[in-house]
């Protein structure tokens, strides 16, 4: 699986889907640029989402709100105080983890002894190799380190707690030269517990903070500290916070808050009535503790979010509707339906205000990972912004009723009999665009081995997602083919379909394979027969079958195949 994933990333780089950002300057961890094909794929996924959620409905509208968000908005929403992840430091390797992501490190004692082995368990052999190197090169050069599959073992001669209550001590390791190597450690709780080297958890705010201020905040901080002549860290922090607060802004950590604060503006301008939705796609930013698996977890990412506002008595029914509908979108576009599943959150996993939460998960090469969350957020967000601003987000229903869509649904709860005023409930679906792109790439990536031929790659992307929809190929360099090639290309381009002309002097079969590799679903060939009867061949990527069709039918046939 790891090797297959590497081959996929290699393809992404080689064929222009994904580049390491700022590579010529040494790159930046977690930052990626989308190349010419990546940008098409990303746009196509987003477009399919927008079509399904906005254009195909009467009651969903779009919005595009500012990324730079004032402190007050995110204070009211709870993000300033609560948008935190727990962080632990590994005292052995100096790396930082979310506790649930930390590799289990065990001290296995020999019976009744303080000697034994420290074992570090990694998710795969590659990671284990990295740990082995890190320990040998940085942490404990000379120590005896062995590796068994995914486990790295350090041989401990003795482990002592000098100050037991204060959780510190030293480990005496066996070395390759036979001498001893003593390394200090901290954070030791009890011998033989699971993680003797991971510090206590501490909260870590995930938002990127910055300042709208023509004066460099560092200069303000220096000035304040000098003027106040304070040496106590806590006091300095409070003073600095006060000085910087008026210019503090954040890069939004989700697109949703921009929707909530515009609730009244949208209702007013679009004359929307419950239930209705506001869709937004755009960038969000999180200062993640650990960046992982290429674009799976990055500091800068894109979200496709839909906030659907409902009357409270309909909220459970709409929550169920959106769980089904979002799963249906994922399944419709994936080849391997078994690699997509849903998972309901346990009560202790959810935000305190949430009434229910379901994740859509994809089976990535390293295991199941969240790609989308669907949540019943109650009316918490709107209420918080009302409290902070005095703006009234209540809706009046003169004759409370049940949406026609839900008449048969048992989940609708008691409908009030008289006019009712309330703050709407929000059902949210929040899909990570970059994670969707990665999941659909993993799903599509197939290495084909035909007898007697070199192995090759076919990217079986859904035709809607494929970056290039159609490649048009003159069979040879014969100049008479050219007007037909251009005619077909024009008819497709007018329909908004990304079409390329593939006129290189390569065998036609080679040209087909090059397009299979980037997922182009259809190749059109102009040949001698075209000159006689105005027909071309259309080749299907997945079946490799070819049919002759009239030139005038090309764009309608391809449109039909893509959109169904």
Binding site for ligand ATP (CB under 6 A): 286, 288, 297-298, 301, 303, 370-373, 430, 432, 434-435
- For residue 65, the minimal CB distance to ligand ATP (Å) is 17
- Across 333-355, b (16+ Cβ under 10 Å) vs e yields bbeeeebbeeeeeeeeebeeebb
Annotate 66-114 with DSSP letters as a single string.
Answer: -SEEEHHHHHHTTHHHH-EEEEEEBTTT--EE-GGGSPPEEEEEPTTSS
- For residue 210, the minimal CB distance to ligand ATP (Å) is 18
Which residues are within 8 A (CB) of 346 and not within 5 positions of it... i.e. 6 or more apart? none
Task: Report the residue number, 435 or 541, with the smaller CB distance to ligand ATP.
Answer: 435
- For residue 365, the minimal CB distance to ligand ATP (Å) is 16
Q: What is the edge-to-edge ordering of all strands in the sheet holding 499-501?
A: 499-501, 470-474, 522-526, 535-540, 546-550
Task: Report the residue number, 431 or 526, with the smaller CB distance to ligand ATP.
Answer: 431
**Around Cβ 479, how many Cβ atoms within 10 Å?**
8
- For residue 291, the minimal CB distance to ligand ATP (Å) is 8
Task: Report the residue number, 292 or 553, with the smaller CB distance to ligand ATP.
Answer: 292
Which residues are within 8 A (CB) of 333 and not within 5 positions of it... i.e. 6 or more apart? 48, 440, 462, 464, 465
Distance, in Å, from the CA atom of 153 to the CA atom of 148, rounded to the nearest integer, reads 8
- For residue 236, the minimal CB distance to ligand ATP (Å) is 31
Task: Judge whether 233 and 225 are in contact, CB under 8 Å.
Answer: no
Mark out the alpha helices in 334-481 (DSSP H runs).
380-389, 433-444
**Nearest to 194, CA basis, from 96, 118, 89, 101:** 118
- For residue 484, the minimal CB distance to ligand ATP (Å) is 44
Give the CA count within 13 Å in the CB-facing half-sphere of 381: 28
Distance, in Å, from the CA atom of 214 to the CA atom of 212, rounded to the nearest integer, reads 7
Task: Report the residue number, 334 or 489, with the smaller CB distance to ligand ATP.
Answer: 334
Task: Report the residue number, 286 or 377, with the smaller CB distance to ligand ATP.
Answer: 286
- For residue 392, the minimal CB distance to ligand ATP (Å) is 28
3-class secondary structure, 463: coil
Task: Report the residue number, 158 or 288, with the smaller CB distance to ligand ATP.
Answer: 288
Using the Cα atoms of residue 383, residue 387, residue 389 and residue 394 in order, give the sign of their dihedral. Answer: positive
- For residue 314, the minimal CB distance to ligand ATP (Å) is 23
Taking CA atoms, 481 is separated from 191, 475, 487, 526, in Å, by 79, 8, 10, 6
Task: Report the residue number, 167 or 287, with the smaller CB distance to ligand ATP.
Answer: 287
Task: Report the residue number, 95 or 370, with the smaller CB distance to ligand ATP.
Answer: 370
Task: Report the residue number, 95 or 288, with the smaller CB distance to ligand ATP.
Answer: 288
Task: Report the residue number, 169 or 373, with the smaller CB distance to ligand ATP.
Answer: 373
Task: Report the residue number, 32 or 188, with the smaller CB distance to ligand ATP.
Answer: 32
Give the CA count within 13 Å in the CB-facing half-sphere of 449: 0
Task: Report the residue number, 171 or 289, with the smaller CB distance to ligand ATP.
Answer: 289
Which residues are within 8 A (CB) of 178 and not within 5 positions of it... i.e. 6 or more apart? none
Task: Judge whether 62 and 50 are in contact, CB under 8 Å.
Answer: yes
Task: Judge whether 292 and 123 are in contact, CB under 8 Å.
Answer: no
- For residue 342, the minimal CB distance to ligand ATP (Å) is 12
- For residue 40, the minimal CB distance to ligand ATP (Å) is 20
Using the Cα atoms of residue 154, residue 159, residue 165 and residue 166 in order, give the sign of their dihedral. Answer: negative
Annotate 197-265 with DSSP letters as a single string.
Answer: TBPPPEEEE-PEEEE--SS-HHHHHHHHHHHHT---HHHHHHHHHHHHGGGEEEE-S-SHHHHHHTHHH
Task: Report the residue number, 286 or 469, with the smaller CB distance to ligand ATP.
Answer: 286
- For residue 312, the minimal CB distance to ligand ATP (Å) is 23
Q: Which residue is nearest to ligand ATP (CB)?
A: 432
**Nearest to 284, CA basis, from 540, 541, 67:** 67
- For residue 305, the minimal CB distance to ligand ATP (Å) is 8
- For residue 326, the minimal CB distance to ligand ATP (Å) is 11
> Cα angle at 400 between 397 and 402, to 5 degrees?
125
Annotate 273-324 with DSSP letters as a single string.
Answer: -SSEEEEEEEEEE---SS-BTTTTB-SEEEEEEEEEEE-GGGHHHHHHHHHH
Cis before 275? omega within 30 = yes
- For residue 369, the minimal CB distance to ligand ATP (Å) is 7
């Amino acid at each position: 699986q790891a090797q297959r994933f590497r081959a996929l990333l290699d393809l992404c780089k080689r064929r222009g889907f994904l580049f390491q950002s700022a590579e010529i300057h040494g790159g930046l961890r977690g930052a990626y640029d989308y190349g010419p094909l990546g940008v098409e794929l990303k746009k196509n996924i987003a477009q399919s989402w927008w079509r399904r959620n906005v254009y195909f409905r009467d009651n969903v509208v779009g919005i595009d709100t500012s990324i730079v968000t004032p402190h007050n908005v995110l204070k009211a929403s709870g993000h300033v105080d609560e948008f935190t992840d727990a962080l632990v430091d590994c005292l052995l390797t100096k790396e930082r983890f979310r506790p649930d992501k930390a590799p289990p490190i065990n001290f296995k004692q020999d019976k009744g002894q303080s000697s034994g082995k420290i074992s570090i368990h990694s998710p795969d052999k590659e990671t284990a190799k990295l740990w082995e190197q890190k320990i040998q090169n940085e942490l404990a050069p000379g120590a005896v380190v062995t590796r068994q599959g995914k486990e790295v073992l350090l041989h401990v001669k003795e482990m002592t707690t000098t100050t037991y209550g204060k959780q510190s001590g030293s480990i005496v390791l066996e070395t390759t030269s036979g001498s001893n190597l003593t390394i200090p450690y901290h954070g030791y709780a009890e011998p033989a517990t699971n993680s003797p080297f991971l510090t206590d958890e501490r909260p870590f705010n995930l938002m990127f903070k910055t300042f709208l201020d023509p004066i460099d905040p560092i200069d303000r901080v220096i000035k304040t500290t000098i003027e106040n002549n304070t040496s106590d860290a806590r006091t300095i922090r409070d003073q600095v916070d006060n000085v910087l607060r008026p210019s503090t802004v954040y890069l939004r950590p989700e697109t949703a808050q921009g929707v909530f604060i515009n609730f009244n503006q949208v209702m007013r301008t679009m004359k929307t009535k419950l239930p209705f939705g506001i869709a937004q796609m755009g960038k969000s930013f999180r200062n993640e503790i650990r960046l992982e698996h290429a674009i799976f977890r990055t500091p800068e990412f894109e979200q496709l979010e839909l906030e659907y506002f409902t009357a409270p008595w309909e909220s459970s029914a709409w929550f169920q509707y959106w769980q089904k509908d979002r799963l249906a979108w994922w399944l419709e576009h994936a080849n391997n339906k078994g690699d997509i599943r849903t998972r309901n959150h346990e009560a202790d996993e959810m935000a305190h205000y949430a009434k229910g939460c379901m994740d859509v998960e994809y089976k990535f090469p390293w295991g199941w990972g969240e790609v989308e969350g669907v949540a019943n957020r109650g009316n918490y967000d709107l209420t918080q912004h009302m409290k902070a601003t005095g703006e009234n987000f209540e809706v009046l229903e003169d004759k409370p009723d049940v949406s026609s869509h839900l008449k048969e649904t048992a989940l609708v709860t008691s409908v009030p009999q008289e006019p009712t005023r309330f703050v709407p409930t929000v059902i949210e679906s929040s899909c990570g665009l970059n994670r969707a792109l990665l999941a659909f790439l993993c799903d599509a990536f197939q290495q084909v081995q035909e007898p007697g031929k070199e192995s090759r790659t076919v990217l079986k992307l859904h035709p809607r997602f494929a970056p290039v929809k159609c490649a048009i190929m003159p069979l040879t360099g014969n100049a008479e083919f050219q007007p037909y090639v251009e005619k077909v290309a024009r008819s497709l381009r007018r329909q908004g379909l990304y079409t390329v002309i593939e006129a290189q002097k390569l065998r036609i079969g080679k040209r087909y394979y090059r397009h299979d590799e980037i997922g182009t679903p259809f190749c059109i060939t102009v040949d001698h027969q075209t000159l006689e009867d105005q027909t071309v061949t259309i080749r299907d990527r997945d079946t490799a079958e070819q049919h002759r069709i009239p030139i005038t039918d090309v764009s309608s046939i391809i449109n039909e195949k893509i959109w169904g």
